């Protein structure tokens, strides 16, 4: 059964916006689903995320970073994703393993084979059935993310990743596109440099086709 759907893309590409909208739409169509996200899909993952995103941890070793994301994933897969899939629910997940390959592989330069070993072990070999990749120029994504942070109450909510260089984010974008090239059947490439509704229509179509839902 094809039920595990992930949303990927650089900061500010609209993942959280689109996952929320499509979840509302699918719920109205009586599709049984959960929405979750990494690394904060569990209470333990949320705490791990606190360490990962804290700007004070700017000297974090890239291996530590990778292990922490995978640690959060192990918890998430066991406690949230697998149980929902076993109940026959669709799981819409904001970021998953591809983000580790893109950020810690393409971005930080860690060996992909090693990431694969740790990630496969952490995720119990669970792979997404469908991945929507939201692609747009990094300058546009970061501008959106900055604007979003300005609107949040806390004055400087920009995290350890968002404050990385433009060059780092360009590597992430390229890394994601490489993942797509290596596994084209799993991915749906979405041009995220358009307005929210246009993108949402495409997201609905893509997911509805995949789960055989009449629009």
Ligand X SMILES: Nc1ncnc2c1ncn2[C@@H]1O[C@H](COP(=O)(O)OP(=O)(O)O)[C@@H](O)[C@H]1O
- Residues in the site for ligand X, rule: CB under 6 A? 9, 11-17, 144-145, 147-148, 195-196, 199
Q: State the residues that interact with Mg ion by CB under 5 A.
A: 15-16
d(CA 103, CA 161): 9
Q: Which of residues 16 and 157 has its CB atom nearest to ligand X in the complex? A: 16
Q: Using an 8 Å Cβ cutoff, are 66 and 56 in contact?
A: no
Q: Pick what 195 binds: ligand X, Mg ion, none; C-beta below 5 to 8 Å, kind-dependent.
A: ligand X
Closest to 73 measured CA to CA, from 164, 6, 2: 6
Tokens standing for residue 205: 């179509």
- Shortest Å, Cβ 113 to ligand X: 28
Q: Which of residues 5 and 118 has its CB atom nearest to ligand X in the complex? A: 5
List Cβ<8 Å contacts ≥24 apart for 64-67.
Answer: 65/103, 65/104, 65/108, 66/100, 66/104, 66/108, 66/110, 66/115, 66/118, 67/118
Tokens standing for residue 53: 């995103």
- Shortest Å, Cβ 15 to Mg ion: 5
d(CA 46, CA 37): 10
Q: Pick what 12 binds: ligand X, Mg ion, none; C-beta below 5 to 8 Å, kind-dependent.
A: ligand X
Q: Which of residues 11 and 164 has its CB atom nearest to ligand X in the complex? A: 11
Q: Pick what 13 binds: ligand X, Mg ion, none; C-beta below 5 to 8 Å, kind-dependent.
A: ligand X
Q: Using an 8 Å Cβ cutoff, are 68 and 51 in contact?
A: yes
- Shortest Å, Cβ 95 to Mg ion: 8
Q: Which of residues 201 and 209 has its CB atom nearest to ligand X in the complex? A: 201
- Shortest Å, Cβ 1 to Mg ion: 27
């Amino acid at each position: 059964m094809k039920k595990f759907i992930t949303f990927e893309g650089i900061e500010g590409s609209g993942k959280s916006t689109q996952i929320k909208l499509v979840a509302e739409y699918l719920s109205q169509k009586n599709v049984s689903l959960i929405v979750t996200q990494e690394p904060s899909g569990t209470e333990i993952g949320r705490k791990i995320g606190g360490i990962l995103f804290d700007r004070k941890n700017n000297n974090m070793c890239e291996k530590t970073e990778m292990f922490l994301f995978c640690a959060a994933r192990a918890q998430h897969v066991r406690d949230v994703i697998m149980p929902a899939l076993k109940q026959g629910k669709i799981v819409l997940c904001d970021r998953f393993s591809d983000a580790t390959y893109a950020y810690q592989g393409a971005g930080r330069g860690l060996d992909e084979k090693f990431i694969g070993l740790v990630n496969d072990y952490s995720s119990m070999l669970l792979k997404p059935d469908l991945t929507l990749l939201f692609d747009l120029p990094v300058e546009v994504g970061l501008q959106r993310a900055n604007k979003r942070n300005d609107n949040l109450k806390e004055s400087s909510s920009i995290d350890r990743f968002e404050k990385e260089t433009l060059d780092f984010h360009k590597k992430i974008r390229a890394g994601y596109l490489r993942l797509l090239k290596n596994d084209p059947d799993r991915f749906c490439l979405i041009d995220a440099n358009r307005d929210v509704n246009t993108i949402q229509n495409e997201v609905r179509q893509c997911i509805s086709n995949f789960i055989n839902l009449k629009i």
